[in-house]
Structure 1
């Protein structure tokens, strides 16, 4: 169910908003602003300094009001214990900066979405062997888009490839053409302390760029 929800969210808008540094007191405003701008997937990194699990708990309740094409979860998930904590808070996606087969397996056992960080063929196929069906290519913009395209020649076509790290409105089209089918955005869509107007302005630009990239087929 979580996997279907994740794919439905990205088919509606191929963005994951990474709200690193958000606080529980801010998450309602941040979430509503992003959702109203068209974002359908939101990630709270666990290395956010102020009670990230509490933010995820509040975020999950908000997402329920927006229907089955929205989903939230955690980023920077490094341990099996953190997977448990995210599930208990209501998060459904587990995103990591690295490829840890134990974390992937624990995530899938709980019927959550696993998106481990990969950048090499070895990492990608280790993640796939562990059961992952979404790969976070990170930090993707440190390499030319041709690199992602070359990896796509060997990664099974049904695998969802997410481009994360250095993605902007200007290079989304390039990475989409190279095979990315979703983008993770950090400060380009949210920076800690942003107000609603700042978030809305950035989100509108990024949603428009992502939707344009998606029309390329």
Structure 2
């Protein structure tokens, strides 16, 4: 069953990286999703940024149905109403940039994997108490790998996914994975705007594949 939370978490752990993307053009969004899947991505996060997001996500979800082992989630969710709309459109999981208790409770009631954004030890603890199985360390570029190490030193069982400031380089990925992350979210550092607009999806596939291979090497 695609909505099984543990299956989604296992897929996240398997690749170690979740692309985070938004675009107003359906053709480009589906092209990016296809390119990511061709590279080995099994979990993809589209973000709720702009009035176009629900429409594009709905089209993306229909397109993604041909990939039986791909999970498509929605990010930048701040309210229960937004969560409802995207779950109705078929979202496999919900991601928030902040810890929003109402969204946490709603997703828990629905049995949906929700991933809250946290930037302090207090928030991480609160998210864990609310039942979060994975926590987004955000903004990652401000928190850094040392934040991950600090949290893991006192809550070693917590699963953390930094997003923001994660780069597809060996040096950057090594610092994150050595700090103890469960997986990483990667957005602007992965998607070159010019390449996307020019629909150079083969270039994107190559870049993502190299990042995934780097992660596997680091984990050995």
Q: TM-score, normalised by structure 1?
A: 0.89
Q: Deviations over 1:8-28 (max 9, x none)?
A: 321331111111225223222
2:204 is aligned to 199
Distance in 2, matches of 1:180 and 1:22, equals 31
Q: Deviations over 1:130-155 (max 9, x none)?
A: 22111000112323422211111222
Distance in 2, matches of 1:188 and 1:122, equals 29
Where in structure 2 are the equivalents of 1:136-155 lying within 5 Å?
Answer: 136-155=136-155
Distance in 1, matches of 2:193 and 2:47, equals 12
Using a 3 Å threshold, how does the CA distance of structure 1 residues 22 and 152 change in structure 2: closer, same or farther? farther
Using a 3 Å threshold, how does the CA distance of structure 1 residues 150 and 95 change in structure 2: closer, same or farther? same
1:174 is aligned to 175
Using a 3 Å threshold, how does the CA distance of structure 1 residues 209 and 113 change in structure 2: closer, same or farther? same
2:22 aligned to 20, 32, 35, which one? 20
Q: Does 1:81 align with 2:75?
A: no
- Secondary structure of residue in 1 paired with 2:191: coil
Q: How far has the Cα of 1:192 moved from its partner?
A: 4.8
Q: Which runs of 5 or more structure 2 residues have no equivalent in the other structure? A: none
Report the count of equivalent residues. Answer: 212
2:125 is aligned to 125
1:160 is aligned to 159
What's the C-alpha RMSD, in Å, of the aligned pairs?
1.9
Using a 3 Å threshold, how does the CA distance of structure 1 residues 50 and 37 change in structure 2: closer, same or farther? farther
Q: Does 1:30 align with 2:35?
A: no
Distance in 2, matches of 1:211 and 1:59, equals 28
Q: Which runs of 5 or more structure 1 residues have no equivalent in the other structure? A: none
